[in-house]
């Protein structure tokens, strides 16, 4: 093996082993003092046997037996059922050694003592958890060649020892020969699960980001959330720049979310998935961590009408369920953005520096589709898009939740393009276009709270699970809420009031129109020369214009969801489409088709524009997306 992959592998194995060992130490319960009994057997046997050797054997043996019975009853009645077997064995062994030592000749006592010590040590070592884990990993390593041959890739060799992660499971580190890549490994999760006699969701595959010959196969034997420590579950960050513990990956590694990075600024985010998949639980984990944070002010636009976040509204700086009020927020936030850009320039700082007096503003949008499809949707998308392209350096974070991240469901492509923290929860229609690449497997309906994540720092292509916050705990968090810079941000919010118009009506009142003056009076204007037409409607004359030519038949316009489904159906059936074909199928005009269907698909990376033999522009989906769609709609 070349030295660089060898060093890389050694580093990863060492890190994984250290993490698993630290987790076991944190979760380890205090040892029962009775686990040291095997080592006390020899000393007790020597002392008691020497004392009993001075009295007749006929008396020594009954004394030893009676004492053993009394000790056994006294000890075992205080123990849990799972510890009583070991206690019985220890008491019986102690009594036997005492009797043998007391009745044996002097020359055999030393042999008996040594034998007792050896037996006790052998028993303790053989039953030690570390020895059992080592034997288990050796057995797993011995069985790996058979598994590799079963999935059709015997060239997959173990690259180091199997890493035992304790209760969470274990990890195979694998490698392919020189000149080959291990990209195929992500497609073998199902075959590996079958070969290992496991469920598909128990096998996770991870490719090394630096060496395309190395990979890891993580086997999950228990829910990783069961190993979460109290410190992780109840974590509260001191500042908005701290990482927030959201949950755990399938291999037990913590998943931490960074929403503001010093020197870089705010990192926007978006979560997509079906109803009840766990999006709200993700946001509640963020709110729980920010419950005592003094340098963040939260605005919450709730498109779910308070279903999950209505009880939290007193914790937020502002809360609304109305699209019109949300639009007013965005206009005010854009004025705040103008002020903060000026402040950055005056203070000669490149990025906003959060503090209790200069807080970061976090804008959460629940059910973005409600606001995008409202009568104010285009204006909301325009204002939010304008804010999204410049909010990083001015201390403003946008985090949206939607069931289907396409078009106005995500408030436009400009908003979605800037979301660098992306979370894909369960989606029955395989709507994984929020991610830059298709995940190894689709999340099952029963896996609530499970998601794939792409953040600014990592993309492990491995499922993670949100730590659940029970309802009664949510009530306690709301009651004890003490964080957020609501008071200090109020001044900045008030300073961004829209400019007031002139007091009263400055136009001079117009005289009553003279109905005999005709059109001259109708279009008369005062000295203010305003473009407003004032007067009375004198007559309405119906007018018909002759048709110049027959207009082409156009199919009635579809709703967005229907149009998106038809667009995907065309791609599944033909493997490629033109813009004209989509227009005729969905009844939309060309600009809307390109803006709401084609452009988001290209941005997501699963649709590619090309030119055919005649020079016409056609759009083809990538093979992975097309195959997944055809399998899902058979």
Rounded Cα distance between 313 and 296, Å, is: 15
- Distance separating the N- and C-terminal Cα atoms of the chain: 45
Q: Please provide residue 562's backbone torsions phi and psi, each rounded to the nearest 5 degrees.
A: -65, -40
Residue 534 has pLDDT above 50, yes or no: yes
Given this model, what pLDDT does residue 503 score? 46
Given this model, what pLDDT does residue 29 score? 44
Rounded Cα distance between 519 and 536, Å, is: 10
Instruction: Supply the DSSP string of 573-634, one letter for each residue.
Output: HHS-B-HHHHHHHHT--HHHHIIIIIHHHHHHTSEEEEE-TTS-EEEEE-HHHHHHHHHHT-
Overall pTM surpassing 0.85 (yes/no): no
Element (H, E) at 266: strand 265-266
Element (H, E) at 157: strand 157-158
Average pLDDT over residues 594-622: 82
Q: Which domains does the chain have, with CATH numbers?
A: 33-126 (no CATH), 130-222 (3.30.980.40), 237-495 (3.40.50.300), 560-632 (1.10.10.10)
Is the separation of the CB atoms in 485 and 298 below 8 Å? no
Given this model, what pLDDT does residue 164 score? 84
Average pLDDT over residues 360-365: 95
pLDDT in tens, 456-479: 888 888 888 999 888 889 999 998
Rounded Cα distance between 205 and 207, Å, is: 7
Average pLDDT over residues 500-505: 48
Q: What angle do CA 252, 255, 259 make, to 5 degrees?
A: 175
pLDDT in tens, 114-131: 666 666 666 655 556 667
Is the separation of the CB atoms in 403 and 430 below 8 Å? no
Average pLDDT over residues 356-367: 93
Given this model, what pLDDT does residue 53 score? 61
**Higher confidence at residue 512 or residue 263?**
263
Residue 613 corresponds to which tokens in the numbers above? 């033999």
**What contacts 88, CB < 8 A, 6 or more positions away?**
72, 76
Residue 397 has pLDDT above 90, yes or no: yes
């Amino acid at each position: 093996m070349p030295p660089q992959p060898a060093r890389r592998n050694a580093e990863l194995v060492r890190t994984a082993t250290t993490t698993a060992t630290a987790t076991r130490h944190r979760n380890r319960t205090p040892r029962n003092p009775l686990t040291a009994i095997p080592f006390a057997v020899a000393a007790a046997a020597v002392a008691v046997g020497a004392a009993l050797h001075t009295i007749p054997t006929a008396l020594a043996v009954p004394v030893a037996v009676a004492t053993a019975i009394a000790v056994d009853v006294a000890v075992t009645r205080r123990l849990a059922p799972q510890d009583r077997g070991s206690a019985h064995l220890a008491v019986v062994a102690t009594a036997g050694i005492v009797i043998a030592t007391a009745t044996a000749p002097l020359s055999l006592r030393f042999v008996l003592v040594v034998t007792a010590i050896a037996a006790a040590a052998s028993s303790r070592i053989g039953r030690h958890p570390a020895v059992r884990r080592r034997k288990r990993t050796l057995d797993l390593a011995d069985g790996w060649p058979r598994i590799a041959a079963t999935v059709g890739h015997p060239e997959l060799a173990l690259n180091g020892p199997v890493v035992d992660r304790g209760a969470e499971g274990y990890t195979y580190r694998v490698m392919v020969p020189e000149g080959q890549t291990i990209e195929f490994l992500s497609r073998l999760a199902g075959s590996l699960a079958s070969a290992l006699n496991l469920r598909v969701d128990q096998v996770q595959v991870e490719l090394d980001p630096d060496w395309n010959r190395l990979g890891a196969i993580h086997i999950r034997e228990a829910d990783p959330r069961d190993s979460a420590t109290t410190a992780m579950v109840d974590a509260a960050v001191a500042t908005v720049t701290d990482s927030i513990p959201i949950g755990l990956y399938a291999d037990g590694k913590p998943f931490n979310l960074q929403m503001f990075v010093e020197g870089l600024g705010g990192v926007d985010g978006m979560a997509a998935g079906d109803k009840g998949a766990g999006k709200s639980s993700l946001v509640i984990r963020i709110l729980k961590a920010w419950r005592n944070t003094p340098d963040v002010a939260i605005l919450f636009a709730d498109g779910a009408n308070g279903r999950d976040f209505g009880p939290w509204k007193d914790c937020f700086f502002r809360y609304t369920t109305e699209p019109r009020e949300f639009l007013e927020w965005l206009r005010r936030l854009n004025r705040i953005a103008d002020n903060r850009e000026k402040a950055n320039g005056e203070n000669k700082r490149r990025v906003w520096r959060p503090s209790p007096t200069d807080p970061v503003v976090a804008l959460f949008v629940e059910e973005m589709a409600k606001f995008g499809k409202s009568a104010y949707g285009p204006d909301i998308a325009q204002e939010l898009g304008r804010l999204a392209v410049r909010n990083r350096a001015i201390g403003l974070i946008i985090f949206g939740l939607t069931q289907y991240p396409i078009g106005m469901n995500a408030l436009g492509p400009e908003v979605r393009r800037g979301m660098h923290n992306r979370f894909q929860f369960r989606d029955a229609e395989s709507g994984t276009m929020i991610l830059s690449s298709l995940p190894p497997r689709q999340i099952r309906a029963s896996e609530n709270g499970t998601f794939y994540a792409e953040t600014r720092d990592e993309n492990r292509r491995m499922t993670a699970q949100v730590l659940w916050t029970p309802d009664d705990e949510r009530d306690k968090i709301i009651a004890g809420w003490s964080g957020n810079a609501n008071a200090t941000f109020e001044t900045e919010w008030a300073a961004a009031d829209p400019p007031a118009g002139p007091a009263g009506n400055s136009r001079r009142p117009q005289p009553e129109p003279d109905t005999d003056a005709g059109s001259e009076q109708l279009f008369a204007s005062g000295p203010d020369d305003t473009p407003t037409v004032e007067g009375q409607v004198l007559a309405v004359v119906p007018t018909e214009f002759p048709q110049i030519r027959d207009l082409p038949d156009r199919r009635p316009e579809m709703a967005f969801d229907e149009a998106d489904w038809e667009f995907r159906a065309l791609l599944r059936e033909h493997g490629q489409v033109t813009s004209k074909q989509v227009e005729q199928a969905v009844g939309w005009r060309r600009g809307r088709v390109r803006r709401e269907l084609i452009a988001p698909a290209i941005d997501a990376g699963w649709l590619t524009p090309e030119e055919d033999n005649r020079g016409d522009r056609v759009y083809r989906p990538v093979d992975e997306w097309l195959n997944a769609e055809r399998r899902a709609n058979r």
